[in-house]
C-alpha cells in the first residue's frame, strides 16, 4: 500500500483515537497517537509529522495552547477537533494558527477529505516557495516567500490561516472573489455550505487592521458574491 504521509493524532479518547488511526492506516497514512497535550511538542519534534489532528480538550495542556506553541516551529497543517459547536473555539483556534477544524462526532469521509485538502494545499505552497514575490497594496506589503505582512514597513503578527486569506485577497485586490474561490485557495477544498471559518478570519483581519466591522472599508463582504479587498482603503 502507498504511504501518503505521517499523521500525529492527539486525542485522549482511546476508543475514538483507535478507530480513527485504523481508518487512516487503511487509507494509506502512517498514524501515531498521542493522548496528552503536554506530550505533543516532544512527539512532533521526534516524528516531524506531515499533519497533526489536534483535539481541543486534552489532559495536561489544552489544544489551543498546544497549537500556539507548535506554531513557533511547526509550519505544516494542524486540523483541530472539537466536540463543542462553539464559535469561540473556532475563533481562537484559527487565531493561534490552526489550518482547519472539524466538529465531533468525526465523520470518516469528511475527515479524510479535510486531511487530503490540507496536505495538497501545503504541498502546493512548498512547491512554489522559491518564487520570490512581494504583493503591495497601499501601505500593505506581503512577502510571500517569508510569509510576512507589513503595514507601513512595520511587521504585523498574523496566524497562518489569516496569512493565507489576506494573501489571496491582496493578490486579487479590487476584484470580488467568491466564497468558493476563497475556500479552494486557502483550504484546498470547496465550500460545504456550513463552514464559518472564512467569516471568522475576515472578522479577525478587520479587527487586526482597524477596519470597522459595522462599516468595513478595507475588506468588504459583497452579499451574494463574495469578498473584496479595496485597494484604495489601504
How many whole angstroms separate alpha carbon 97 and alpha carbon 159? 5
Which residue from 170, 174, 173 is spatially nearest to 158, judged by alpha carbons? 170
Residue 127: pLDDT above 60? no
How many whole angstroms separate alpha carbon 31 and alpha carbon 187? 22
How many whole angstroms separate alpha carbon 162 and alpha carbon 165? 5
Q: Are residues 75 and 170 in the same domain?
A: no
Q: Are residues 81 and 120 in the same domain?
A: yes
130: confidence class by pLDDT, cuts 50, 70, 90: very low
How many whole angstroms separate alpha carbon 209 and alpha carbon 218? 8
Q: Are residues 120 and 14 in the same domain?
A: yes
Residue 217: give the domain boundaries: 134-233
- Average the pLDDT over each of 18-32, 116-130, 177-191, 207-221 and give the range with the smallest value: 116-130
Domain count, the chain: 2
Residue 51: pLDDT above 50? yes
Mean of the per-residue pLDDT values of the chain = 87
* Within a domain: 141: yes
Q: Do the Cβ atoms of 173 and 137 come closer than 8 Å?
A: yes
| CATH code of residue 109 | 3.40.50.2300
Q: Are residues 116 and 147 in the same domain?
A: no
| CATH code of residue 209 | 1.10.10.10
Cell matching residue 67 = 497549537
* Within a domain: 1: no
Last residue of a domain, one of 127, 149, 173: 127
Q: Are residues 72 and 112 in the same domain?
A: yes
Distance of CA 189 to the CA centre of its chain: 12
Q: Are residues 161 and 60 in the same domain?
A: no
Q: Do the Cβ atoms of 46 and 115 come closer than 8 Å?
A: no
In this prediction the pTM is 0.73
φ, ψ for residue 83 (rounded to 5)?
Answer: -90, -10
Last residue of a domain, one of 127, 145, 166: 127
pLDDT at 172: 92
* Within a domain: 116: yes
Q: Are residues 30 and 110 in the same domain?
A: yes
Q: Are residues 115 and 153 in the same domain?
A: no
At residue 116, the 3 state secondary structure works out as: helix
92: confidence class by pLDDT, cuts 50, 70, 90: confident
Compute how many other C-beta atoms are within 10 angstroms of the C-beta atom of residue 33.
Answer: 17
Amino acid at each position: 500500500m502507498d504511504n501518503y504521509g505521517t499523521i500525529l493524532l492527539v486525542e485522549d479518547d482511546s476508543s475514538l483515537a483507535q478507530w480513527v488511526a485504523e481508518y487512516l492506516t487503511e487509507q494509506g497514512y502512517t498514524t501515531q497517537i498521542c493522548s496528552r497535550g503536554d506530550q505533543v511538542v516532544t512527539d512532533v519534534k521526534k516524528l516531524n509529522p506531515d499533519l497533526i489532528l489536534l483535539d481541543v480538550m486534552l489532559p495536561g495542556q489544552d489544544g489551543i495552547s498546544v497549537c500556539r506553541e507548535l506554531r513557533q516551529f511547526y509550519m505544516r497543517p494542524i486540523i483541530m477537533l472539537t466536540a463543542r459547536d462553539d464559535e469561540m473555539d473556532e475563533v481562537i483556534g484559527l487565531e493561534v494558527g490552526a489550518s482547519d477544524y472539524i466538529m465531533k462526532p468525526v465523520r470518516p469521509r469528511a475527515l479524510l477529505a479535510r486531511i487530503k485538502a490540507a496536505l495538497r494545499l501545503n504541498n502546493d505552497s512548498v512547491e512554489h516557495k522559491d518564487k520570490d514575490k512581494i504583493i503591495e497594496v497601499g501601505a500593505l506589503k506581503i512577502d510571500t516567500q517569508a510569509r510576512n505582512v507589513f503595514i507601513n514597513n512595520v511587521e504585523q503578527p498574523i496566524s497562518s490561516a489569516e496569512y493565507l486569506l489576506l494573501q489571496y485577497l491582496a493578490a486579487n485586490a479590487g476584484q470580488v472573489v467568491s466564497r468558493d474561490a476563497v475556500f479552494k485557495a486557502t483550504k484546498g477544498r470547496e465550500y460545504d455550505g456550513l463552514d464559518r471559518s472564512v467569516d471568522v478570519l475576515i472578522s479577525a483581519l478587520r479587527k487586526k487592521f482597524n477596519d470597522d466591522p459595522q462599516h468595513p472599508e478595507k475588506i468588504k463582504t459583497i452579499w451574494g458574491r463574495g469578498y473584496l479587498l479595496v485597494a484604495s482603503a489601504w
